[in-house]
């Protein structure tokens, strides 16, 4: 059985980045780790987000409880 697949990205402009197959399969896009303190959640996406768009969602694992 051949497990190699060819994936074609659509609507990715020159200079934009897209997740590699290895990144998606490894599950590292599942959530971001919180590095803030209680009541101050902080995530650091990589690559950095230069502008937010309506409808974007971010999942994170909270390090501290929210009071």
Decide if 11 is inside a domain. Answer: no
pLDDT given for residue 26 in this prediction: 66
CB 45 within 8 A of CB 58: yes
List the domain range (segments joined by +) for residue 65.
30-67
pLDDT given for residue 14 in this prediction: 67
> DSSP class of residue 30?
S
Distance in angstroms (rounded) separating the CA atoms of residues 32 and 46: 10
Q: What is the pLDDT along the chain (67 residues), one digit of tens a residue?
A: 556 666 666 666 666 666 666 766 666 667 788 888 888 888 888 778 888 888 888 888 888 888 8
**pTM of the predicted model over 0.85:** no
Specify the number of domains making up the chain.
Answer: 1
Decide if 13 is inside a domain. Answer: no
CB 40 within 8 A of CB 67: no
Q: With residue 23 as reference, give the H or E element that holds it.
A: helix 21-26
């Amino acid at each position: 059985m051949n497990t190699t697949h060819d994936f074609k990205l659509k609507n990715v402009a020159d200079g934009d980045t897209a997740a590699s197959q290895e990144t998606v399969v490894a599950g590292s896009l599942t959530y971001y780790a919180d590095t803030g303190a209680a009541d101050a959640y902080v995530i650091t996406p990589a690559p950095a987000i230069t502008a937010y768009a309506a409808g974007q969602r971010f999942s994170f694992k909270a390090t501290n409880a929210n009071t």
